[in-house]
Amino acid sequence: MRLRVDGKDVEVQEGTLLLQVARVPTLCHHPHTETRGLCRICLVEVNGRLQPACATLAQEGMEVKTETEALRRLRKTLLEWLALTTDLSQAPELLALLERYGAEPARWPEVEGRKEREAVEDNPFFLRDYAKCVNCRRCVDACGDGVMGVYALTLEGRGLLAHPTTPLGRPLPETPCVFCGNCVQVCPTGALRPLALEVA
């Protein structure tokens, strides 16, 4: 099938996600987890409407725009809000995006954010530092359906209070966790990181 992306004709097979043809930034998307359309960073304009590229299938005749003024403003705002609420100091890719979109978090009033959360150190292998967590769900998916099928992580709460945790908030060694660290592998912000990094 054929569609147009930023004015260029593109030929794709059925079942192709827009993300595969549109060069847009992503955050919650990961090839081995099953999160779709959560973070809105990859939004594109499809026939005038905003759609998440990671969760939208290409269709015949689509007119896709990946970098309009509206999209740029939207991404900038989303990134500013993340920076406002979250410690992004160990998220180099997000910091680069902030720069690319000229984000100015300081133009917003302060909000009660996640930055104050204390890191959880409950196992010999990795830290859960949720002050740095943007709730992308990749860890939850890698632990569950995406990779391991272990389900030791889950998302709790809503809105700004939402955060990943364990079942009933138990320490990881008391959950089904097998410490494979596949959650650490997919974490885009350094919220989950090896303890070995800390001592070095």
Interface with other proteins by CB under 8 A: which range of 7-15, 16-24, 112-120, 185-193? 185-193
Interface with other proteins by CB under 8 A: which range of 69-77, 81-89, 155-163, 188-196? 188-196
Contact with other proteins (CB under 8 A): which of 149, 158, 161, 168? 149
User: Least distance from C-beta 176 to other proteins, angstroms?
Assistant: 9
Number of residues forming the site for other proteins (CB under 8 A)? 24
Contact 192, 129 (CB under 8 A): yes
Interaction between residue 185 and other proteins (CB under 8 A) = yes
Which is closer to other proteins, CB of 101 or CB of 126? 126
The residues near 80 (Cβ < 8 Å, ≥ 6 apart) are: 98, 103, 104, 105, 107, 108
| Residue 185, CA atoms < 13 Å, CB-side half-sphere | 14
Q: Is the dihedral of CA 169, 171, 175, 176 positive or negative?
A: positive
Largest CA-CA distance found in the chain, in angstroms, rounded? 55
Dump strand ranges (E) for the chain. Answer: 2-5, 8-11, 43-46, 49-52, 63-65, 126-128, 154-156, 163-165, 192-194
Which is closer to other proteins, CB of 75 or CB of 128? 128
Interface with other proteins by CB under 8 A: which range of 69-77, 107-115, 127-135, 183-191? 183-191
User: Least distance from C-beta 112 to other proteins, angstroms?
Assistant: 32
SS3 189: coil
Interaction between residue 181 and other proteins (CB under 8 A) = yes
Name the phi and psi angles at 95, rounded to 5.
-60, -40
Residues between 23 and 82 that touch other proteins (CB under 8 A): 31-32
Contact positions vs other proteins (CB under 8 A): 31-32, 123-126, 145, 147-149, 173, 178-182, 184-186, 193-194, 196-197, 200
